[in-house]
Structure 1
Amino acid sequence: MKDINTEDYRVTGKVKLSEIATHEDFGESNKKLKKELKHIRKNLGDFQDTLYAHGKYGVLVCLQGIDTAGKDSLIREVFKDFNARGVVVHSFKVPSDVEKSHDYLWRHYIALPERGKFSVFNRTHYENVLVTKVHPEYILGENIPKVDSMEDIDEEFWEKRYRQINDFERHIAENGTIIFKFFLHLSKEEQRYRLLRRIRLKRKNWKFSPGDLEERKLWDKYTTCYEEALSKTSKEHAPWFVIPADNKKAARVIVASIMMEALKKYKDIEEPELDDEIKANLEIFKKELEKETS
């Protein structure tokens, strides 16, 4: 399979999603794509072992996308070869009463990865400038000082929120969190197909909600909000990548490739040396174990 230029997917300026492809297959069969992913995810799993032993960095993987974009299956397939204790997935739903009694970033802050581990945010803190921007009435439930009516939720409010998110990500990056942000870019026609599939296949029925159709009617509004969020919050320390998502197998390969390529650049992440005294006595410990009989 040809090399993937991961920079092709990085957001470096103003985004226009209608000009970005939603489908990619690299001219390869599904079998070839699966084989490529298997190779990369094995390397990612090995890297996580080293990351844990090194113990100074955590990795945050943020996944955003419209309903049916493939976030769940991507998580399942890309992280399949990780030590189960090395990756924690957080699926953020509607905020609970406890979560709403704190600021909107609180529940995300406490879910950040421990040093040596990966955290995956399935939907992220960006819901607070996406869903809430499409449905600004939700903001009133946050009980923010001086935000008492819809009139208080103006452009200045959203600019402040983008700044807060950028500050949050800069802070955690400067304290050892490696950040990846992936937008799974799905076409409207592919979403229609996937929603129909949820209805037609009995084993998929549980995934379908009539609310998905209501949100689908707001496709253009969501697109505008995504374009603004991606453009305003893709930074060197926390870049956004737009991933063509109509082909799930190719999307998984692209995401895994981007992570692996970036993580290999951290040359300081390596397994620690054994204590000199232990290293000097390894042969003795080996012989002691070899003398044991079953």
Structure 2
Amino acid sequence: MKDIEASDYQADADCDLTGRSTYEDFGLSDRKLEKRLLKVRRKLGDFQDKMYAHGKYAVLVCLQGMDTAGKDSLIREVFKDFNARGVVVHSFKVPTDLERKHDHLWRHYIALPSRGKFGVFNRTHYENVLITRVHPEFILGENLPDVQKVEDVDAVFWEKRFRQINDFERTLAETGTLVYKFFLHISKEEQRQRLLRRLRLPRKNWKFSPGDLDEREYWADYQRCYQDAIRRTTKEHAPWFVIPSDCKEGARLIVASILLQLLEQYEDIREPELDPEIKKHIEEYRNELKKQH
């Protein structure tokens, strides 16, 4: 298996989703992919411990994708070896009444990870330029002063919203949060098969909603909106990565490997040095403990 290079999946301002593969298994069985993931995620867990002790950076991992793209299971498998105190996962649903009384980024600001921790956004602030762009009537529920009707949600409105998102991420990067964004790219046929599985397996039934079928009618619209969002907001300080996700095991390995590769570049992230005065007496402390019963 070839090495996984982050640059092979990183998107640029000319990103074309139609030209991106949705499947990658590296010619390996699911079991072999899982074994490789185990090694990578253990290293990620060790890095997180070191980052927690260092306490000067935070990491924000943003996961976006169509329904059934595998976000939940990816989070479970990639971050399984993290210390629970070092990672916080937020899943953003339909905004509450309280959240609608604030700007569209407020609920994301208050969920950001503190220094030393990983934050994982399962669906993210990009919902504000994805589902609302496919369904602009949802914007009316935000009760904005300059939006009285759907026609007010025009190109100028979206330009402003993209600027706000870019400003948000730039501020995070400039104050010590490392931002990595992953689009889990699946095919429409793979989504159909996963929805059928939800209906076939009783333990998966609860995940199905008739609305999933309705949203499939907007597949092409969503793909265009994702592509535009990625093009407008992939930056050096907040890059997007397009992850082929028809094979869940392959997608998990790719995301974990990219994270590890990028984070290990921060050579300044290391455990703090022990206080010299304490270090000078380590042997004494050790001998004292050996005497105790």
User: 1:128 Cα shift?
Assistant: 0.2
**Which is worse superposed, 101-110 or 12-21?**
12-21
2-structure distance, mates of 1:259, 1:143: 38
The answer to whether 1:235 aligns with 2:235 is yes
AA aligned to 2:228 is E
Counterpart of 1:149, as a letter, is K
Superposition map of 1:110-189 within 5 A: 110-189=110-189
* Equivalent in the alignment of 1:291: 291
Aligned to 2:16: 16
Q: Secondary structure, in 3 states, of the residue corresponding to 2:121?
A: strand
1:109 and 1:189 map into 2 onto residues whose CA distance is: 35
Supply the distance in 2 between the matched residues of 1:248 and 1:182 (Cα, whole angstroms): 14
In the other structure, the counterpart of 1:40 is: 40
- TM superposition shift of 1:4: 1.2
What SS does the corresponding residue of 1:225 show, helix, strand or coil? helix
* Structure 2 counterpart of 1:137, one-letter code: E
The answer to whether 1:225 aligns with 2:247 is: no
Q: Which residue of 2 aligns with 1:97?
A: 97
Letter of the structure 1 residue corresponding to residue 54 of structure 2: H
In structure 1, C-alpha distance between the alignment counterparts of 2:81 and 2:5, rounded to whole Å: 24
CA distance in 2, matches of 1:111, 1:19: 34
Residue 273 of structure 1: how far off its partner (Å): 0.3
1:192 maps onto 2:192 in alignment: yes
SS at match of 2:62: strand
Q: Which contiguous aligned blocks of 4+ residues in structure 1 show a shift greater than 4 angstroms? A: none
3-state SS of 2:56 partner: coil
User: 1 CA distance for matches of 2:13 and 2:155?
Assistant: 20
State the alpha-carbon separation in 1 of the partners of residues 2 and 10 from structure 2: 19
Q: Which residue of 1 aligns with 2:244?
A: 244
Q: C-alpha distance in 2, partners of 1:272/1:15?
A: 40
Cross-structure match for 1:202:
202
**2 CA distance for matches of 1:157 and 1:182?**
25
Paired residues of 2:6 and 2:262 also in contact (CA < 8 A): no
Worse overlay, 221-230 or 6-15: 6-15
Residue in structure 1 matched with residue 261 of structure 2 by the alignment:
261
Take 1:101 and 1:5, find their aligned partners in 2: how far apart are those partners?
A: 42
User: Which sits farther off after the overlay, 132-141 or 12-21?
Assistant: 12-21
Write the mapping of 1:270-289 to structure 2, written as runs, cut at 5 A.
270-289=270-289
Distance (Å, rounded) in 1 between the aligned partners of 2:73 and 2:166: 28
Q: 1:55-99 CA deviation, whole Å, 9 max, x = no partner?
A: 000000000000000000000000000001110000000000111
Q: Aligned residues, how many?
A: 293
Structure 2 CA distance for aligned equivalents of residues 24 and 257 of structure 1: 14
- More deviation in 22-31 or 40-49? 22-31
**How big is the shift at 1:146?**
1.3
Shift of 1:16: 1.8
The answer for the alignment partner of 1:63 in structure 2 is: 63
Instruction: Kindly state the Cα deviation for residue 189 of structure 1 after the two structures are TM-superposed.
Output: 0.4
Deviation of the 1:136 alpha carbon? 0.4
Q: Which amino acid letter does the alignment assign opposite residue 130 of structure 2?
A: L
3-state SS in 1 of match to 2:190: helix
CA RMSD of aligned residues (A): 0.7
Report the Cα offset of residue 148 of structure 1.
1.1
1:26 aligns with 2:26: yes
Does the CA contact (< 8 Å) of 2:11 and 2:231 recur in 1?
Answer: yes
Identical residues among aligned pairs (%): 68
3-state SS of the aligned residue for 1:26? Answer: coil
Q: Secondary structure of the equivalent of 1:237?
A: coil
Q: How far apart are 1:15 and its partner, in Å?
A: 2.1
1:112 & 1:271 partners in 2: Cα distance?
Answer: 23
SS of structure 2 residue aligned to 1:181: strand
Q: Which residue of 2 aligns with 1:214?
A: 214
Structure 2 unaligned blocks of 5 or more: none
Normalized against structure 1, the TM-score is what?
Answer: 0.99
